[in-house]
Amino acid sequence: MDAWLGGVAAGILGAVSKVEAVQYGDRKVYSVSAFNRGVGDWLSRLPSVWVEGEVTELRRQQRWASVFFTLKDPADGSCLRVSMPRSQFDALRLDLGDGERVHVYGRPELFEARGDFRFRALSIERFGLGDHLAALERLKRKLAAEGLFERRRPLPRFPRRIGLVTGNDAAAKRDVLTALTTRFPPARVVVAETYVQGPRAAPAIVEAIGALCEIDDVDVIVLARGGGSFEDLLPFSDERLVRAVAGCRVPIVSAVGHEQDTPLTDLAADVRASTPSVAARLVVPDADELRERLEQTRERLRRAPLLTVERKRARLDGAFGRLRALSPSSTLERGYAIVRRDGRIVRGSAEVEPGARVDVELGEGGFGATVNETR
Amino acid sequence: MTFEEAQRELERIVQQLETGQADLDEAITLWERGEELYRLCADKLDSAQGKVEELARRVEALKPAEPLT
């Protein structure tokens, strides 16, 4: 823009130098007419462009050669006076009313007799809500075809820092900050306030996202804006912003508008959150839950060594059980007896004779005995 | 060490202890490490101060829209 204005200044000088100036000493002075002609000449060389705005103060009279109206920017009220030859205007059969949104194709022009700057319309098209929606739909299909709406990266469980892009209207910002810090008091947040409405919003948000991405411990970005009219949310469907969101270094959570609004940034973001508290749930862990889980883990930790000892004991007991099963004592417990003579086990009746003294060992205890007879 | 790393290691230690595979000396060492990790996590949760910073308002420096072409 600056370069453009500089060009205009240079052009005026160039143009004016062709018209006669009166020399008063070292001062060059132009007549009003010459000056206007110079400026008008330069303006007429600017390219034709499309301008969007709302029609106000439409004036059309039979005796005028041109129709006049003022094109107003709904975002900040900026005005541009527009003229169009009456026959051309009538031929368009637009039947425009006050406040209607239009696209005007034309070029700047100076009405030299009055030094009035205005926009000379060459064509006018109505651009209402339906056209906006259709244009959005086309953009949506185009970006979808490029695969911009398919990225769903997982969010970090413990972001080191959280970037928050928000307007300076306190509500959305406060809601998100409150939700974040309530759920996770240690949260660290970097807030980037920008325009979130009007024609400057989209490039400003792109800039804010870029600035947050430059901070290397920002692990996630939340894009927050309260609800608004269809037009208020239009920047969030701006192609530049949608591309910036889709190409962002870190995951982006889109918390824009209300449930029913679906600006295109929502589709390009990694996750969409319908409310600030949903955004907070996605972005930070619940500190209370963490604490509870930590305490439970500690309980398990405290029981664990005891568990180890118990398990070792159980294994020992098992081994002991098997050892005992192999020893004769369990056989004796079932009712068998061991007979010994002089400490040696008696395996057959031939090893004793009537009158021999033997020892009998039982499951419990034992006794001495004398052999009566052998068989 | 981050909270997340400490928490992960702590949970791994508990699991290892609960399987009862470690020998007794090893179990005691693991348990001591676990207690240390627990304190580290608890401190991080309790003492970490939340912080909200404002990014310098660079947006003011933005050029108005795009040049007419």
With beta carbons less than 8 A apart as the criterion, state whether A352 and A371 touch: yes
Task: Please answer yes or no on whether A301 and B42 come within 8 Å at the CB atom.
Answer: no
- Is residue B58 scored above 60 in pLDDT? no
Which phi and psi angles does A367 have, rounded to 5°?
A: -155, 165
Which residue in chain A is spatially nearest to B64 when comparing CA positions?
A200
pLDDT of residue A2: 43
Please indicate if any CB of chain A lies within 8 Å of the CB of B60: no
Per the structure block, which two tokens stand in for A190?
């970097």
Q: Which residues of B touch A186 (CB under 8 A)?
A: 44-45, 48-50
Of A157, A212, A308, Cβ closest to residue B17 = A308
Q: How far is CA A195 from CA A55, A191, A199, A266, B58, in A?
A: 25, 13, 9, 18, 11
Q: Kindly provide the residue ranges of all beta strands, DSSP E only, lying in chain A, ordered along the sequence.
A: 22-24, 27-29, 49-59, 66-72, 79-85, 101-111, 116-126, 161-166, 188-193, 218-225, 252-256, 271-272, 338-341, 344-345, 357-361, 366-370
Task: Please answer yes or no on whether A307 and B41 come within 8 Å at the CB atom.
Answer: no
Q: Which residues of A touch B30 (CB under 8 A)?
A: 304
CA distance A197 to chain B (A): 13
Band of residue B65 on the pLDDT scale cut at 50, 70, 90: very low
Q: What is the pLDDT of residues A237-292, one digit of tens each?
A: 999 999 999 999 999 999 887 767 788 999 999 999 888 888 999 999 998 999 99
What residues of chain A score a pLDDT lower than 50? 1-7, 15-17
pLDDT of residue A1: 41
pLDDT of residue B38: 92
Residues 6+ apart with CB under 8 A from A123: A92, A104, A105, A106
Band of residue B53 on the pLDDT scale cut at 50, 70, 90: confident
Closest by alpha carbon to A103, among A138, A54, A66, A48? A54
DSSP string, A100-125: -EEEEEEEEEEETTTTEEEEEEEEEE
CA distance B44 to chain A (A): 9
Place of tokens 């290397």: A216
Rounded distance between C-alpha atoms, residue A177 and residue A187, angstroms:
9
What end-to-end distance do the CA atoms of chain A give, in Å?
130
pLDDT of residue A270: 94
B3-19 and B24-47 helices cross at what angle (nearest 10)? 150
Task: Please answer yes or no on whether B3 and A158 come within 8 Å at the CB atom.
Answer: yes
Which residue in chain B is spatially nearest to A292 when comparing CA positions?
B42
Closest by alpha carbon to A354, among A336, A375, A335? A375
pLDDT of residue A19: 66
pLDDT of residue A76: 82
Q: Which residues of A touch B11 (CB under 8 A)?
A: 297
- Under DSSP, is residue A223 helix (H, G, I), strand (E, B) or coil? strand
